């Protein structure tokens, strides 16, 4: 008996695939670290936002001076990009590389690296301006 008649079978397949994938210890640890780094980044931004100056250095590839500065709201780009990267890797891991665990682990490792570098960059920017 199907207790969820309106849930399409594809959704159940994706959920089942994710449940199998996250049982791997490495993927489970990376999943928790990425979510924790995202929450820490947003929390740090919320905590330090009132004391941020009107211009913070974001664009480090531009020449020295005012070209590097942007509104403090642009700092939200760092945690947002890390969670978007994680979401893309999650979708690729579920739909494409679910049969090959090593490729899924490499995708999740790249998500961890992007999230960690994003968090470190955010901390360095916040320590630089406050």
Q: Where are the domains of the chain?
A: 30-50+78-129
- 42-99 confidence digits (pLDDT tens): 999 999 999 999 999 888 888 888 888 999 999 999 999 999 999 999 999 888 887 8
Distance CA 78, CA 54 (A): 18
CA dihedral 61, 77, 106, 35 (to 10 degrees): 150
Distance CA 116, CA 33 (A): 9
Q: Are 58 and 70 in contact (CB under 8 A)?
A: yes
Helices 9-21 and 77-95 cross at an angle (nearest 10°) of 100
Q: Which residues in the chain belong to E strands, given as ranges? A: 56-57, 69-70
- 106-115 confidence digits (pLDDT tens): 999 999 999 9
pTM (2 decimals)?
0.85
Distance CA 9, CA 83 (A): 27
């Amino acid at each position: 008996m199907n207790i969820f008649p309106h849930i399409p079978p594809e959704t159940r397949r994706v959920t089942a695939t994710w449940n199998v994938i996250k049982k791997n210890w490495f993927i489970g640890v990376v999943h928790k670290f990425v979510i924790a780094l995202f929450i820490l980044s947003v929390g740090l931004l919320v905590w330090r936002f009132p004391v941020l100056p009107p211009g913070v250095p974001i664009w480090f590839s531009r020449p020295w001076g005012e070209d590097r500065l942007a509104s403090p709201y642009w700092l939200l780009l760092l945690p947002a990009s890390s969670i978007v990267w994680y979401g893309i890797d999650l979708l690729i891991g579920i739909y494409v590389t679910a049969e090959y665990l090593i490729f899924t682990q490499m995708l999740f490792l790249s998500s961890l690296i992007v999230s960690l570098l994003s968090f470190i960059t955010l901390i360095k920017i916040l320590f630089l301006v406050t």
